[in-house]
Amino acid sequence: MSKKKIIEVQGNAITILNELGVDYISLTDMLKSKDGDFFISDWLRNRNTVEFLGIWESVYNPDFNYGEFAIIKSQAGLNSYKLSVKEWVSKTNAIGLQAKAGRYGGTYAHSDIAFEFGMWISAEFKIYLIKEFKRLKEEESNRLNLEWNLQRTLSKINYRIHTDAIKQNIVPKLISSSQINFTYANEADLLNVALFGKTAKQWKEEASKNSVTEKKGNMRDEASIEQLVVLSNMESINALLIEQGLPQKDRLVQLNQVAIMQMKSLLANESLRKLGEE
């Protein structure tokens, strides 16, 4: 499945499709920046273009049809010679150019080839195209690094939880017998009681009476990062317990024990504490 990105070069939107990790840039969009009548077929019939495409395909495409390429190359540059992108692809098994129909219709080229095509628009256009493409790649790289660091931090957190599983330390309060016996129709409140020791309604009532705290929203908005991590884990555990057919009363007890164990573990985690302070 293609992933679409848009960059702007000299006031024109240029579409970039990423297919299996490979970027293809729209030559059709790029052509809008060209002064006068100019067609992709004009560029493709040029002998220098054909030689460049042939070299690129020979480097990156093991299935490139050299026999057909030799015929095309011998005819390139002649006034009577015409070649479309579809013909080029079908005859040579080329992978650097694509002619697409439908939603993202138009002619697309591998970024290497698109940069070469950019020179036919203008030298200035090529420079700005490369500049904007690099900027897009840097943004993607920074986002991936951020996601990787977050996943790495969460991985460390989960590892710490597992290694501390044998410790029975109380952080949330143990729920009372009356809380255990009370049936919570709302599953969200079941998790709230297991972790915070109160329902969302009880929290709101207490917050409204305390003018000093001036808390707004709901209890989860005021939760610490440690509580939110535990809450996320508890949601998955509760879903599993529901599938196992465990009564709500018993699930509440188990979830409260999970909350106690994991909160103590997380509060001792240096990495998570630093993350919460940033």
Cα separation of 278 and 276, whole Å? 6
Which two structure tokens, joined as six digits, stand for 158? 């989960």
Q: How many residues does this entry show for the chain?
A: 278
In this structure, the strands spanning 12-19 and 22-26 are antiparallel
Q: Which pLDDT score, from 0 to 100, does residue 160 have?
A: 56
Q: How many CB atoms lie within 10 A of CB 124?
A: 12
Q: Note the pLDDT tens digit of each residue in 174-196.
A: 777 777 666 555 777 888 888 88
**Average pLDDT of every residue of the chain:** 80
User: Residue 119: enclosing H or E segment and its boundaries?
Assistant: helix 111-121
Helix (H, G, I), strand (E, B) or coil at 14: strand
Low-confidence ranges of the chain (pLDDT < 50): 159, 162-163, 165-171, 212-213, 276-278
Cα separation of 49 and 96, whole Å? 12
**What is the model's pTM?**
0.52
Cα separation of 11 and 62, whole Å? 38
